[in-house]
Amino acid sequence: MTARHDEIASALRERVASGAYKTGSKLPSEAQLARQFGASHMTVRAALGILQNAGLVEKRHGSGNYVRRPYERLTYSNDRATTDGHAAAEIALDFEVVSRRIFVKSDLSARLHVPAGTPMTEYRYQSYRGTSPQAFVRVYVPCDVTDLDIPYSSRLPLGDEVRQQLADSGVVIARSVDLVIARHPDAEEASALRINTQAVLLSIDRVSMDETGRVVEAALIALPGHLARAEFTTPAPEHAMEAAG
Amino acid sequence: MTARHDEIASALRERVASGAYKTGSKLPSEAQLARQFGASHMTVRAALGILQNAGLVEKRHGSGNYVRRPYERLTYSNDRATTDGHAAAEIALDFEVVSRRIFVKSDLSARLHVPAGTPMTEYRYQSYRGTSPQAFVRVYVPCDVTDLDIPYSSRLPLGDEVRQQLADSGVVIARSVDLVIARHPDAEEASALRINTQAVLLSIDRVSMDETGRVVEAALIALPGHLARAEFTTPAPEHAMEAAG
DNA sequence: GAGTGGTCTAGACCACGAG
DNA sequence: TCGTGGTCTAGACCACTCA
């Protein structure tokens, strides 16, 4: 037994795949689709909801339903040796970075693994492909670790530039822990990524420590679920190479 | 302007928080709630959908809507040295395992990193805390690697038992790659985890290789977003210990 | 078989967007 | 202002669970 809204969703998928509905174009109105399929408004909306969740359709209240551009997924990786190459080569992204000094509040304290009140520098990255937001990243470095000179507009996504500069100034990252959660975005993340609050978010909290266990860098990474994936290699290739060399 | 179904959702949240609806108990029927709130069946269902997505309510077709226990998140980890201890100690889970032989089809082929048509044994895990599904895991082992004896009911979650038995039979896993995605569940996953198709899913595709790069084990892990997290340590502690020792 | 949730309808009205 | 999507209704019928 197949639900009517699933049938309609499949039919619309077909039309997108076949090019009947072209990328970026507006679909017929929900009322028209309801007439076409001999279904009610609500059933058509259920079908469109499926396509929206799949990332194929973007709904614009008061305007219409549009075929989304099919982006490749942006890959976040724990493979520090090749992250730069990956991101720079595979996907061309534009960035904006804003930095400021903060004292971590209690809610951030737990996520960054530092005591509340610790003075840190926050680097806030917004990454775009064209005009479409692809990543919202906040990178934190304790003020007593080192001073960095992060350019306003960066080549590297996801705050990798911070780690690179840390390495250049002699700070060694001995261990990183990535905590990955799938959830809905909060208001700030939804606004920054221009997705609605019912969308899916890939949230990665990364904490990096030196040999003594001191936190030298932490990052809160928010990626739209349908545009991102995270890849973790165990053991990481760079360490395999160090062991071999 | 607050939507009626949001108001109803808040009211129901309040009743759960205040203990008016106790953990594990059945809510009034949707028809009764509709009468109570002076709203229609569909509006009440929208409100219940919100609570379901938030992990507060479990819907059982033909039976009723139930208050979920406020569980801690189940942690998936790449830290193989302590995974067993973690899972067994932190969270008591019940399991069902079903195994069968399959030939991988083209859609699975890409996710498992093996050629289409490869004969493999599939171990299908369903993990429960009480009667509430917590994980839906499919573990695959090529038939030519080894024969395993997986008990029907297992102590270890997430298919760790397969990896343990592989190790016991002399198969060494030299490298694993975990691909993590946040998305909505497909129909099979939604049904197995008893969540709706608009819920958030943490999907982990893991591929394990031996020294020669041959795939010796692969797993498709589906975890309800609100019940799970994944933690990746780089480098993994066991390798750090090997390097030190 | 009684009671539950799941799907669908036909129509109403509201909120938003663009001309 | 008009066409669009967003919400809601009242009621129908189907599918599932359980006594």
Give tens-digit pLDDT for A114-165: 999 999 999 888 887 766 778 889 999 998 877 666 655 555 566 677 887 8
The pLDDT value given to residue B156: 58
- pTM for the whole thing? 0.81
For residues B193-212, b (16+ Cβ closer than 10 Å) or e, as one string? bbbebbbbbbbbbbbbbbee
B178, A234: Cβ pair inside 8 Å?
yes
Burial of residue B100, with CB atoms counted within 10 A of its CB: 0-12 exposed, 13-18 middle, 19 or more buried: exposed
**CB contact at 8 A, B57 and B26:** no
pLDDT of residue B16: 95
* CB neighbours of residue A174 within 10 Å: 15
Token look-up 């061309």 returns: A92
Q: What is the CATH number of domain A74-244?
A: 3.40.1410.10
Q: Give the model's pLDDT for residue B145.
A: 72
User: B182 is written with which tokens?
Assistant: 């946040």
Picking from B163, B234, B242 by the largest number of A CB atoms within 10 A of its own CB, the best residue to mutate is B234
Whether pLDDT at A244 is above 50? no
Arithmetic mean of pLDDT, A177-184? 94
Q: Please indicate whether residue A214 or residue B197 has the higher confidence score (pLDDT).
A: A214
ω before A235 within 30° of 0 (cis)?
yes
Estimate to the nearest angstrom the gap between the alpha carbon of A122 and the chain centroid.
18
Task: Measure B119 CA to C17 C1' (Å).
Answer: 56
Contact across the interface for A80 and B234, Cβ inside 8 Å: yes
pLDDT score of B127: 82
| Segment A217-231 mean pLDDT | 92
Tokens at residue B157, please? Answer: 């979650």
Point out the residues of chain B with pLDDT beneath 70: 1, 80-94, 131, 147-159, 236-245
Q: Calculate the angstrom distance between C1' of D18 and CA of B74.
A: 32
Query: Would you state the pLDDT for residue A2?
Result: 86
> B86 — phi, psi (to 5°)?
-40, -65
* Distance measured from the CA of protein residue B17 to the C1' of nucleotide C11, in angstroms: 37
Q: B4-67: which CATH architecture?
A: Orthogonal Bundle (1.10)
Q: How far apart are the first and last CA of chain A?
A: 60
- The continuous run of DSSP H or E covering B51 comes out as helix B41-53
Structure confidence by residue, pLDDT tens digits, A71-97: 788 899 887 544 443 443 355 566 677
| Residue A243 scores a pLDDT above 70 | no
At a 7 A CB cut-off, the residues bordering strand C are: A 3-6, 38-43, 46, 60-63; B 1, 27, 29-32, 41-42, 45, 59-65
DSSP code of residue A143? T
* Separation CA A173–CA A139 (nearest Å): 15
How far A78 CA lies from chain B's nearest CA (Å)? Answer: 7
> Helix or strand or coil: residue B146?
coil
Q: How far apart are CA B24 and CA A110, in angstroms?
A: 30
Contacts of A232 in chain B (CB under 8 A): 78, 177-178, 180, 232, 234
Structure-token pair, residue A80: 């520090």
Give B214 CA → D2 C1' in Å: 63
A2-44: per-residue pLDDT in tens? 899 999 999 999 999 999 999 999 999 999 999 999 999 999 9
pLDDT band at A205 (very low <50, low <70, confident <90, very high): very high
Chain B residues whose beta carbon lies within 8 Å of the beta carbon of residue A240: 175
Tokens coding A211: 């040999």
Question: Looking at residue A151, what is its pLDDT?
Answer: 57
What one-letter code names the amino acid at B158? L
Domain locations along chain A: 4-67, 74-244
Supply B81's token pair: 């040295």
The nt closest to A48 (CA vs C1′) is D5
Asked if A175's CB is within 8 angstroms of B235's CB, the reply is yes
Position B241 scores a pLDDT of 43
Q: Is B244 on the interface with A (CB under 8 A)?
A: no
Return the amino acid letter for B244.
A
Instruction: Name the least confident of A195-199, A208-212, B70-74.
Output: A195-199
